[in-house]
Amino acid sequence: MPEVTRQSYDVWLDRIDRELDDPACDRNELCRQVLTEIYYPALLDADPASLPEGTRLALMQMDPRNVTLEPEYYHELDVERYAPVKPLIWLWEMFDRSPLGENIHLGVLFRRILARRIFRRCGKNFKAFHHVKLSFGYNIEAGDSVVIHRHVLLDDRGGILLENGASVADFANIYSHTHDLDDPNLVDSPGTVIGENVRITYHATILAGVHMARNSMVGALGLVTRDTEEDHLHLGIPARPVKRKPGSERRPSPPDPLATD
C-alpha cells in the first residue's frame, strides 16, 4: 500500500492506543467519537433535537451506553468487569461493519489494540480478522501468535484459553457454557482450552469444557465433544482421532508484515 496510507493508519491507531492508555479515558465517549467520525462525521457536533427521528436513533447507536449486548442478559455477568470492556467490544463490532472493517492491515492492528484491553490476557502478535464475535470478552486468555479468522464465535462465558500458536479458521465456534437437558435455565460454564499449536478448521465447533491437546487438529465441520489427543487429526460428528499427524519438520515462517511486538 502507499506509504502515505500506512502513515495515516499509524497516526490514527496511535491516537486510539494513547487515549486508551490514559487512566482518565472515558471509553464510552471514545467509542462514540470514533464511530461517529466513521459513520456520521458531519453530525459529530450536531444537536440531536435538530435531526429527523430515524437519524437521531441511528446516531445514538454510536454510543455504547445506548445499546444492550447479549451478555447483559446473562445472570452470571460480572457487571464491574464488563463495564470497561463493553465500549471496546461495541467499537470492535461496529468497526467491522463499517467501510474500514474489511481492511486486513488496519483491522488486525486495530483489533489487537482493543483485545489487549478486553481480554484477561493477550499475548504477542494476536490476529483477529473481521466479524469475530465475543461474549463477555474478559474471560478470554490468548497466548502469543494466536490467529482468529473471519466469523468466529468465542463464547467465553466460562472462559476460553487459547495457547501459543492456536489457529481458529473461518466460521468456527468455541463454547464454554451448556444448558441443562431438562431445564435450559440451568447453565453450566466449564472453561474450554485450546492448546498450543492447535488448528481448528472451517466450520468446526468446540463444545464447553473440552481441552484440545497440544498440536491436535479438528477437520472441517468437526464437532469436538471430548478432549482431543495430542498430535492427532480429529474428524467427524462427534470428532474422533483418525490419524497421527506426520510430524514433518516445519518450514520457517515467512516474515509477518503485521507483527508489532
Predicted pLDDT of residue 159: 98
SS3 per residue for 70-115 = HHHHCCCCCHHHHHHHHHHHHHHHHHHCCCCCCCHHHHHHHHHHHH
pLDDT in tens, 6-57: 999 999 999 999 999 999 999 999 999 999 999 999 999 899 899 999 999 9
pLDDT in tens, 177-203: 999 999 998 999 999 999 999 999 999
In a 10 Å sphere around its CB, with 0-12 CB exposed, 13-18 middle and 19+ buried, how is residue 257 labelled?
exposed
SS3 138: coil
Give the Cα separation of 254 and 261 in Å (integer). Answer: 16
Domains, the chain, ordered by start: 3-244 (2.160.10.10)
Concatenate the DSSP letters of all residues of 178-209 into one string.
EE-SS-TT-EE---EEE-TT-EE-TT-EE-TT
Confidence at 95, pLDDT banded by 50, 70, 90: very high
pLDDT at position 100 over 90: yes
pLDDT at position 251 over 80: no
- 106, 100 Cβ separation under 8 angstroms: yes
pTM of the model: 0.95
Residue 23 cell numbers, joined: 487512566
